[in-house]
Amino acid sequence: MAEDLKIVSGNKKEQYLSLLPQISALIADENDEIANMANVCAALKEQFNFFWVGFYLVKNGELVLGPFQGPVACTRIKPGRGVCGSSWEQKKILIVPDVEAFPGHISCNSASKSEIVLPILKNGNVIGVLDVDSNELDSFDEFDAIYLNQIINLIDYG
């Protein structure tokens, strides 16, 4: 496995298209899902310099903070709470252009302005979410939804 990530410039689609095969290669020989989630966060942070990127994993009826990159964050989120808990409950990708306009948004850091959350599904059940935060408004769109979804689906969650 090559440990060096090739960082490209270009538009969002070009950046994701460069990153996808690299993440695929990065996690191909590793079957520990925590290790793979950790490297996915690091690769996304390195390429896009997202303010915060991380996983929350369903444990005993709550989302619990998993591997992430960025400032310290809230550790537990109840079903239906915030963007993460809503994505979990609705089993839907949620794109929030302005977090202050999202009812119940959980502010782990006041610098976070927009957010995308993707549910991770296994056998039809949500087993966690990927949460990406930006310190700018309106940072996420359908391209992020499509490619981040492909990235989380590269991981075998055991």
CA 149 to CA 60: how far, in whole Å?
A: 24
CA 140 to CA 157: how far, in whole Å?
A: 25
| Selected range binding ligand SME among 41-49, 73-81, 134-142, 148-156, rule: CB under 6 A | 73-81
Count residues near ligand SME (CB under 6 A).
14
Q: Considering only residues 108, 118, 120, 148, which one is a binding residue for ligand SME as defined by CB under 6 A?
A: 108
Q: What is the DSSP string of 127-156?
A: EEEEEEEESSTT---HHHHHHHHHHHTTS-
Q: Please give the C-alpha separations between residue 129 and each of 2, 45, 94, 124, 156, in angstroms, as whole numbers.
A: 27, 17, 11, 14, 14
Contact call for residue 74 and ligand SME (CB under 6 A) = yes
Q: Which tokens sit at 3?
A: 């440990």
| Selected range binding ligand SME among 6-14, 15-23, 30-38, 105-113, rule: CB under 6 A | 105-113
Contact call for residue 83 and ligand SME (CB under 6 A) = yes
The mark string for 32-71 relative to ligand SME (x by CB under 6 A, - otherwise) is: --------------------x-------------------
Helix, strand, or coil (residue 55): strand
Contact call for residue 112 and ligand SME (CB under 6 A) = yes
- Residues of this chain that interact with ligand SME (CB under 6 A) are 52, 73-74, 77, 82-84, 105-106, 108, 112, 115, 131, 133
